[in-house]
């Protein structure tokens, strides 16, 4: 396998993961929550509006209805073999980083080291109070109670450290990404992401310009497929274990 050989020779590797990876664990994507019908939630809103920063301020109970749906889905599933294979790659390659769009925390659960993990859309837990900043680790307990969840100390409204629609990407995560991109990557592997954000395009382009290796694993071709050295048209679950076993 060309991809296994390229990863074997690479030192600095960036693995970019998206919803397709966790879909293999049975998780819905952002756009798959809310009983969507023709792109609209049961509340008659596009999910991009229901799950947005402005909605959390205007109608916390409504926004939380959809955060809770994501939360229940994440707590009800587990990392899959591909998450574990990526963590194994990071053990073999101490300069292998993971950049994920997923908020489920499955990379950490599978053993990816937090110091080489960039969660660009944040994570669903622990919750924190928007009024006093107190941290509350009881996501699953709160999901059993009336929403929105309230702070034990000041009764302020809690929220997850996740990037909702119309919110900024976390500064620290972006800084880390730029620092690591500046050092360069020998290989960039994208898995299960169809989005075309600059934070995906840029590392891929930079690796190519610098003569590095790029590959994509996705059931369907995407906007970046044509720019990759290798396109593997399958699910991560089907290839990652095999791929890592050859490195």
Q: Least Å distance between CB 78 and Zn ion? A: 31
Residue 131 or 225: the one with the smaller Cβ distance to Zn ion is 131
Helical axes 236-245 vs 81-92, angle rounded to 10°: 30
CB of 61 to Zn ion, least distance (A): 18
> Do the beta carbons of residue 199 and residue 118 sit within 8 Å?
no
**150 or 173: CB nearest Zn ion:** 150
**Measured from the CB atom, is 75 or 134 closer to Zn ion?**
134
- Per-residue binding string, Zn ion, 155-184, x by CB under 5 A, is -x----------------------------
Mark residues 125-144: x for contact with Zn ion by CB under 5 A, - for none: ----x-xx-x----------
By the 10 Å C-beta count (0-12 exposed, 13-18 middle, 19+ buried), 1 is classed as middle
CB of 149 to Zn ion, least distance (A): 11
Least gap, CB of 127 to Zn ion (angstroms): 10
- Name which position in 151, 215, 239, 244 contacts Zn ion (CB under 5 A): 151
Token pair of 216 as six digits: 């994509």
Quick one: how far is CA 217 from the chain centroid?
Answer: 15
d(Cα 243, Cα 187) in Å, to the nearest integer? 14
Binding residues for Zn ion, total number by CB under 5 A: 8
Report the alpha-carbon distance of residue 208 to residue 204 in Å, rounded: 6
Active site residue 121: yes
Tell me which of 121, 142, 178, 224 is the catalytic residue. 121
Minimum CB distance to Zn ion smaller for 40 or for 131: 131
- Give residues with Cβ within 8 angstroms of 190, minimum separation 6: 15, 16, 17, 18, 200, 204, 214, 215, 216, 217, 218, 224, 228
Annotated active-site positions, please?
121
Provide the binding-site residues for Zn ion, judged by CB under 5 A: 129, 131-132, 134, 151, 153-154, 156
């Amino acid at each position: 396998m060309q991809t296994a050989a390229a990863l074997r020779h690479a030192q600095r590797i960036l693995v970019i993961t998206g919803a397709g990876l966790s879909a293999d664990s049975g998780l819905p994507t952002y756009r798959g929550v809310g009983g969507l019908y023709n792109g609209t939630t049961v509340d008659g809103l596009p999910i991009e509006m229901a799950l947005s920063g402005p909605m959390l301020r205007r109608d916390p109970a409504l926004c939380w209805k959809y955060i809770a749906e994501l939360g229940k889905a994440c707590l009800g599933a587990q990392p899959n073999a591909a998450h574990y294979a990526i963590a194994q790659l990071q053990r073999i390659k101490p300069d292998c980083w993971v950049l994920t769009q997923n908020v489920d925390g499955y990379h950490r659960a599978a053993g990816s080291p937090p110091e080489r993990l960039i969660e660009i859309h944040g994570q669903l837990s622990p919750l924190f109070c928007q009024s006093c900043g107190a941290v509350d680790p009881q996501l699953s307990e709160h999901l059993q109670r009336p929403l929105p969840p309230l702070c034990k100390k000041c009764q302020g409204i809690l929220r997850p450290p996740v990037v909702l629609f119309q919110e900024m990407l976390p500064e620290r995560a972006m800084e880390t990404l730029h620092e690591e991109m500046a050092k360069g990557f020998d290989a960039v592997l994208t898995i299960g992401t169809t989005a075309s954000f600059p934070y995906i395009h840029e590392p891929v382009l930079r690796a190519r310009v610098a003569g590095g290796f790029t590959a994509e694993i996705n059931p369907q071709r995407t906007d970046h497929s044509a720019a990759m050295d290798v396109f593997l048209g399958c699910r991560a679950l089907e290839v990652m274990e095999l791929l890592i076993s050859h490195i």
